[in-house]
Amino acid sequence: LKYFEKMPAVYDELLSTNPIFIARVKNVGVLSADQARSFAVTGPNLRGSGVPLDLRRSEPYSAYPDFKFDVVTRPQGDCLARYQVRVEEMRQSAAIVAQALDGLPEGEIISKVPRVFRPPVGEAYARVESCRGIQGFYLVSDGSAKPARCRIRVPSFANLAAMPALLAGVAVADVVAIMGSLDFIIPEIDR
């Protein structure tokens, strides 16, 4: 945690005030709030377009109601805004982890659970705020130890859907900055 807490300042020193970096990403790859919503973009990419949606706050789960943190947004919707949201979210994440560690009770930290779990017959859907956006899990159980069906909604897939709108008419030199600012992961998208 001590190492991670220092990293936003490193990024600030290297990039946040670097005129070359700012010139390459400011007003580049602009995604409006309406466009982001229409493509079902989530996470830092959505918040970089000014939309304050974060499941940890809007639909709190686990211990998140106990933690103090800000939902970081930037209204510009460009590559710079998405970068700024991510750097500030690093600070917020470090603060959340510090709060969790401070509140950690004494005793064993690993629960004893059975090696094999047989959920009842049925289906369930749950979603969480991951580092790239909303990640959803749909499971169907037939009562056995293995899911009858499992579907995972990954944020990179939806975030990548905005790419055609972002790349229309841009200079080739801006493509890498735009793609990088969306922070999608190809193996996450590959089905």
Which residues, including other chains, have CB under 8 Å from residue 130's CB and lie 6 or more apart?
Answer: 43, 155
Contact 53, 42 (CB under 8 A): yes
Distance CA 110, CA 113 (A): 9
Assign 182 a pLDDT band (cuts: 50, 70, 90). very high
- Taking CA atoms, 32 is separated from 36, 52, 161, 178, 190, in Å, by 6, 13, 14, 14, 27
Residues 57 and 170: their CA atoms lie apart, in Å, by 35
CA distance 61 to 130: 13
User: How many whole angstroms separate alpha carbon 191 and alpha carbon 72?
Assistant: 31
Residues 13-49 pLDDT 10s = 999 999 999 999 999 999 999 999 999 999 999 999 9
Instruction: Report how far residue 82's alpha carbon sits from residue 71's, in angstroms, rounded to the nearest whole number.
Output: 13
Domains of the chain, residue spans: 2-104+156-186
Dihedral, 160, 164, 170, 172 alpha carbons, nearest 10: 70
Instruction: Give the tens place of pLDDT for each residue, 131-151.
Output: 999 999 999 999 999 999 999
pLDDT in tens, 72-97: 999 999 999 999 999 999 999 999 99
